Amino acid sequence: MNRQKCVLVVGLLLILPQASLSSEDSLGQPRFNFKIVAGINRLTVGDYNTNMSTQYDARKAYAARNGYGFSGGYELTHLGLDLEAEASFSLVPRLAVVLGTGYIRAGKGPEANQQTVEYPAYQVTSKFSWDMNMHAVPVLLGFRIDILPEGKIGFFLKACFGYFFAKYSIISREDQSGSNRGYDWYSYEEDGRSGGFGFQGGLGFEYRLNRILAFVIEGCGRYAKIDGFKVDYKDAYSYGLSRSGSGGLYFYEYFDRNTWYPTMSVRKDSPTNDPNVRNSRQAVFDFSGFALRAGIKISL
């Protein structure tokens, strides 16, 4: 029994150093790395922002044309949260293959998008508001090039290609007040999902606290335009009427009083046969933009 224990101990002493060496490259640097970073992004967003500005312009023009009071404004959606987690494996001392995922989000609450229309003849006031959130979860595969792989300070370049699982939600609401109001409130909601391919790349800096742990700062540029959304929608009035349905998300221009207005809406089919509609296509939520993130890297 003692002899067997001695053989086992000697075997482990021989195997462990080899296992340790197998996780390092030829320069003695760790081959496996895990990184998690978080920060802020600025996204293009695209068609939703265009739709918001169009609704504002159309409602303001409608109020002015009919002598109604108008106030309020809107803010375009751009800023949001950006998270990323990745694992990498060094193929050679300066080159590693990267597998990662993340969470990309942007949105604006109703406090940022409110407009009020006053109808003096009817003694009614309508307040309109919007709440929008969009997010994507990418699955990424790419390469990282390490500059200055030894020492306390290092830099790296990274490029990835991947698939982006995207979702968005919109809640719009009208609240009425006044003696002749038709209802207390009306709400409309959309929930859409889709996916598409994109790519991103960037430059990073790392400060190695020790052989295992490093502090990381990186900047990232991204291109990811997602269309083909399948959308569920529903609306409701305060007096009980409600409706629901589903369809595709389309972006087009409609003609009203000598003006073409770009807009985005859910429809069963593209409105190509409507003479008051032109340039119809699938609407795009554009996750392209850039992000600044910071976090840690663990090397094994």
Q: Is residue 13 part of a domain?
A: no
Q: Is residue 11 part of a domain?
A: no
Q: Is residue 143 part of a domain?
A: yes
In angstroms, the CA 287 to CA 222 distance is: 7
Q: Is residue 10 part of a domain?
A: no
Q: Looking at the 3D structure of the chain, how many domains does it have?
A: 1
Residue 19 pLDDT: 36
Structure tokens at 158: 């990274």
Residue 29 pLDDT: 56
Q: What is the mean pLDDT of residues 41-56?
A: 94
Dump pLDDT digits (tens) for 170-211.
999 999 999 889 999 999 999 999 999 999 999 999 999 998
Residue 146 pLDDT: 92
Q: What is the mean pLDDT of residues 59-67?
A: 93
CA 239 from chain center: how many Å? 36
In angstroms, the CA 61 to CA 45 distance is: 25
Q: Is residue 154 part of a domain?
A: yes
Q: Is residue 78 part of a domain?
A: yes
Q: What count of other Cβ atoms lies within 10 Å of the Cβ of residue 166?
A: 25
- Please choose, from the candidates 143, 145, 142, the residue with its C-alpha nearest in 3D space to the C-alpha of residue 94: 145
Dump pLDDT digits (tens) for 4-43.
444 443 343 333 334 333 444 444 556 899 999 999 999 9
Three-class SS state of 258: coil
Q: What is the mean pLDDT of residues 198-225?
A: 96
Q: Is residue 19 part of a domain?
A: no
What does the radius of gyration of the chain's CA atoms come to, in whole angstroms?
27
Residue 169 pLDDT: 97
- Tell me, what CATH number does 250's domain have? 2.40.160.20
Sorted by sequence, the CB contacts under 8 Å of residue 142 that are 6+ apart come out as 97, 98, 100, 158, 159, 160, 161, 162, 201
In angstroms, the CA 298 to CA 300 distance is: 7
Q: Is residue 23 part of a domain?
A: no
Dump pLDDT digits (tens) for 237-272.
999 999 999 999 999 999 888 888 899 999 999 888
Please check whether residue 161 is in contact with residue 142, taking contact to mean a CB–CB distance below 8 angstroms.
Answer: yes
* Residue range(s) defining the domain that contains residue 197: 28-299
Q: Which of left, alpha, beta for 270 (phi over 0: left; psi -120 to 50: alpha)?
A: beta
Concatenate the DSSP letters of all residues of 144-213 into one string: EEEES-SSSEEEEEEEEEEEEEEEEEEEEEEEEEETT-S-SEEEEEEEEEEEEEEEEEEEEEEEESSSSE
Write down the mean pLDDT value for the chain.
Answer: 89
Dump pLDDT digits (tens) for 109-133.
999 999 999 999 889 999 999 999 9
Three-class SS state of 276: coil
